[in-house]
Homo-oligomer: A and B are copies of this chain.
């Protein structure tokens, strides 16, 4: 009947064969090939082995698009990252990469592909198509969150848990991190602690909260000089200003290693000894801090684990299982400062 119309591109000999091709070669039907390649128990083990061998021999390549179209899903999770490294708020250090590593590892082994995007330019269609979305980056993702929610896509966010009640958020235990710093200072007998970091930043606010609460238990409350930015120089500038105004302090907890290093630099420039005169603790336990002279004590978090957790949460949501926000433990790595 219907005469076959012109094909757009004749199947070239070099092309990878389709399941139908394999089926013909194996003398079975396409669906059997499909089942065999997916290790379905519905197919005879021998048949399966033969088909798999044949596929291998023929250089068969599975067509993901066809499956996704058929299944009405993309088997893809989009990871939205703030990648434009604004000078003042760079997503730098090993942190994002470790996070990505954990995510990718977990998702890949569950058969999902990881789509990396910054949600700028023409990224939208592929993010829309994703079965789920993971939001990384230091906040500023309010807009992205609304966008994704409007699409009705499952979503998991990395960041400050307390700030997004309605979202599934994975974050490290910033409050506990702050408390650890405070406890350390108390153990060292320090009595005039500083917190260095802009609390407008959600995670920083949590760190300050834990720090302040723990100090309050000892009848103390921290100085919180204004800090503008996240860089080494921002930290140095803030401490210089602080030394001008309120030079009486003997301990300093910075919301990031970068700020901590800036602080140390300023302190040394002004003739304060670290750690004799001022104890300093940073956050993130970056190689930068660890290799600094003096080596910086810092609150550590395991980003690879965090990535794995983010991945598990999004998988749960995609599969219709429930998922709650979760807080990862933090611990203090004591070095010299």
Closest CB-CB distance, A280 to chain B, in whole Å? 14
CB nearest to A126 among chain B residues: B113
Closest CB-CB distance, A5 to chain B, in whole Å? 15
Inter-subunit contact A92/B288 (CB<8 Å): no
Q: Contact mask A65-80 → B, CB, 8 Å, 1/0?
A: 1101100101000010
User: Which residues 94-129 in A have Cβ within 8 Å of B in the complex?
Assistant: 94, 96-98, 100-101, 104-105, 108-111, 113-118, 120-123, 125-126, 128-129
Inter-subunit contact A108/B121 (CB<8 Å): yes
Instruction: Select the stretch in A40-48, A56-64, A171-179, A180-188 that faces chain B.
Output: A56-64
Q: Which residues of B contact A64 (CB under 8 A)?
A: 65, 74, 125-126, 129
Q: Which of B65, B90, B105, B121 contacts A118 (CB 8 A)?
A: B105
Inter-subunit contact A101/B85 (CB<8 Å): yes
Inter-subunit contact B63/A69 (CB<8 Å): yes
Given contacts A115-B114, A116-B115, A288-B291, contact A83 B100 (CB under 8 A): yes
Q: Does A299 contact B (CB under 8 A)?
A: no
Inter-subunit contact A61/B129 (CB<8 Å): yes
Closest CB-CB distance, A184 to chain B, in whole Å? 23
Closest CB-CB distance, A227 to chain B, in whole Å? 16
Closest CB-CB distance, A18 to chain B, in whole Å? 11
A interface, size bucket? 35 or more
Inter-subunit contact A114/B113 (CB<8 Å): no
Q: Looking at A9, A74, A101, A268, which has the most chain B CB atoms within 10 Å of its CB?
A: A101
CB nearest to A150 among chain B residues: B59
| Interface positions of A (Cβ within 8 A of B) | 9, 61-66, 68-69, 72, 74, 79, 83-85, 90-94, 96-98, 100-101, 104-105, 108-111, 113-118, 120-123, 125-126, 128-129, 151, 232, 258, 261-262, 265, 268, 286-288, 291-293, 304
Going nearest first, the 8 A-B pairs with the smallest beta carbon separation are: A83-B101, A65-B68, A92-B94, A113-B126, A65-B69, A109-B121, A288-B288, A116-B116
Task: Offer 14 A-B interface pairs, CB within 8 angstroms, sorted by A.
Answer: A66-B69, A83-B104, A83-B105, A90-B94, A108-B122, A109-B121, A109-B122, A113-B123, A114-B116, A115-B116, A261-B291, A262-B291, A265-B293, A287-B288
